[in-house]
Amino acid sequence: MGIEYCISFPPEKIDELRKTMLIFGGKCGENANRFEFRFGPPDEKWADATVVLDWEGGIYFCDHCGNREKVSVLFHRIISKALTYSDSSDSIVVKEL
């Protein structure tokens, strides 16, 4: 539970986005498209943010209301990365769920 968004991206860029999520500090488990971001102590029960790639044709981003500053920077970086894959700022959509 948290503040949820869907960010569109070209599906052919999913492999590049997986690499990018790891560079941004995401940890993935069994699902290669799901990444958790933790900015606090390693024993925290909940992730600060969760990202799922190829979720209904986009990037699912959930802000679990943890470290506000770091989560907002992560959100900005993901949107910026999605924009690098597009022809213009009109070719991605960010919507709150």
Q: Give yes or no for a contact between 51 and 37, defined as CB atoms under 8 angstroms apart.
A: yes
Burial label, 95 (beta-carbon count in 10 A; 0-12, 13-18, 19+): exposed
HSE of 24 in the Cβ direction (CA atoms, 13 Å)?
27
3-state SS assignment for residue 37 = strand
Residue 71 included in any domain: yes
Which single residue is written with the structure tokens 């560079």? 23
95 in a structural domain: no
State percent of the chain over pLDDT 70.
Answer: 96
Q: Is residue 94 part of a domain?
A: no
Residue 69 has pLDDT above 90, yes or no: yes
88 pLDDT band, cuts 50/70/90, is low
68 assigned to some structural domain: yes
| pTM for this predicted structure | 0.88
User: What CATH number is associated with residue 53?
Assistant: 3.30.310
Predicted confidence at residue 90, as pLDDT, reads 60
43 occurs within a structural domain: yes
Residue 93 counted as domain residue: no
pLDDT digits (tens, 9 = 90+) for 5-35: 999 888 888 999 999 999 999 999 899 999 9
Can you give the residue range of the structural domain that contains 48?
Answer: 3-88
The answer to whether position 72 is within a domain reads: yes
* Residue 66 to residue 2: CA distance in whole angstroms: 9
